[in-house]
Amino acid sequence: MNALHDLPIIKNQSAFNLARWAELCADPFWGQIDGKIETDRYGQIIMNAPADPAHGGRQADLTLLLSKHAPGGKIIVECPISTTEGVKVPDIVWVSKKRLAVISGKSAFTAAPEICIEVLSASNTRNEIEEKRRLYFAAGASEVWLCERDGHVRFFLKTTRSRAAKKSALCPGMPAKISE
pLDDT in the model for residue 2? 60
Average pLDDT rounded to a whole number, residues 43-71 = 91
Segment 89-128, tens digit of pLDDT: 999 999 999 999 999 878 899 999 999 999 999 888 999 9
Find the helix or strand (DSSP H, E) in which 177 lies.
none
Say if residues 37 and 47 touch (Cβ distance below 8 Å).
yes
Segment 137-173, tens digit of pLDDT: 999 999 999 999 999 999 999 988 678 999 999 999 9
- pTM for this model (two decimals): 0.92
Does 44 score more than 70 pLDDT?
yes
Does 180 score more than 70 pLDDT?
no
Does 63 score more than 70 pLDDT?
yes
Segment 1-25, tens digit of pLDDT: 566 666 667 789 999 999 999 999 9
Does 78 score more than 70 pLDDT?
yes
Say if residues 155 and 163 touch (Cβ distance below 8 Å).
no
Mode of pairing for the β-strands spanning 45-47 and 86-88: unpaired
pLDDT in the model for residue 8? 66
Say if residues 56 and 34 touch (Cβ distance below 8 Å).
no
Q: With b meaning 16 or more CB within 10 Å and e meaning fewer, what string describes 148-173?
A: eeebebbbbbeeeeeebeeebebbee
